[in-house]
Amino acid sequence: MKKKIAIIAGGDSGEYRISINSAGVVKNNLDKNKFDVYLIEIRKEGWNFIADDGSKSPVDKNDFSICTKDERITFDAVFNAIHGTPGENGIIQGYFDMLDIPYTSCDVMTSALTFNKHYCNKVVDSCGFLVSKSLRLLKDDAINAENILTELNLPLFVKPNAGGSSVGMTKVLAANELDEAIQKAFCEDDEVLIEEFIVGREITCGVFEFKGRMMAFPITEIISKKEFFDYEAKYDPSLADEITPADIPEDVDTECKAISVDLYKKLNCKGVVRFDYIFNNDGVYFLEVNTVPGLSAESIVPKQAKVFGLSLMDLFGMMIENVLD
């Protein structure tokens, strides 16, 4: 009998559209001979099953079920395609844990930790890996740019502490740009992270553990044609080159994959996770971890998986098999 799979998408962050795109790719690439697939849009204003004809019907949150014309449907597993809140920060994971429905992403604790960049950096630093010098601001803090610049050196990255796709992020080159950048980030989150800019080359590595087998995907180098790899550059192929496999020294390739696998284990990750870095002559610096990485046609992980030898149907099917087992 085919398994019933809910793909959850949407969410309530600036990554809503990216999540919907990712879910569409997943839906189109799941083996219909193995799975009956249902797209569920999750928003604050309502949870709805989106039928193939575009019609919507509500989800019963008591047991995460839906009713079609023919039957009431419950699900064997959930494919999590929500980037940002509530799919990447542990909120939706806690809900499914209470209902005992398996899902493809990291658990509550790992999702909550890794979504908070400040706390995640502290843990990664404590594990002995390189991270950028940074500080965190809370919404009620008295903001003093002069004091910040006594602790951190320009240029700086200012970003929401919890968020993705570089939404609300600014590269600050001069002191008079700092206040505006902080306010922009506060529009996306109640906490802001300010990090020193690291000169180097940006690389990223996807990792997936399938039934005890750890797979580090080919590394991608990101070369942005803008000031940095911002939201626009991430989803406009003309604004950045993403080279997979990356043309980098062999020792850097080996070290990056080893760090990624080690962090995957230390952070207790599940499913497909992507780790971002900057490397230079001083070493490989951790930037952040994406526990629900983009899966749209423009996203990095699908490209890495293809070079690794996995089709999207293979990858998505394996993610579901992991949690069904």
Sign of CA dihedral 16, 25, 257, 89: positive
Residue 156 to residue 146: CA distance in whole angstroms: 13
Q: Strand, helix or coil at 225?
A: coil
Tens-digit pLDDT profile for residues 14-31: 889 999 999 999 999 999
Residue 265 to residue 268: CA distance in whole angstroms: 5
DSSP letter assigned to residue 153: P
pLDDT confidence of residue 125: 96
Q: What residue ranges in the chain does DSSP mark as E strands?
A: 3-10, 35-43, 46-50, 56-58, 66-67, 72-73, 77-80, 130-131, 134-138, 156-160, 170-172, 191-196, 201-210, 213-216, 220-224, 240-243, 272-280, 283-290
Residue 84 to residue 63: CA distance in whole angstroms: 23
Beta bridge partners of 265: none
Torsion on CA atoms 10, 12, 18, 23, rounded to nearest 10: -20
Tens-digit pLDDT profile for residues 270-291: 999 999 999 999 999 999 999 9
Tens-digit pLDDT profile for residues 181-201: 998 988 888 889 999 999 999
Tell how many helices (H) and how many strands (E) occur in the chain: 10, 18
Tens-digit pLDDT profile for residues 240-267: 789 999 999 999 999 999 999 999 999 9
Tens-digit pLDDT profile for residues 43-80: 999 999 999 988 999 999 999 999 987 789 999 999 99
Joined together, the tokens standing for residue 306 give 């293809």
Residue 230 to residue 169: CA distance in whole angstroms: 7
| 0.95 surpassed by pTM | no
At 233, the amino acid letter reads: A
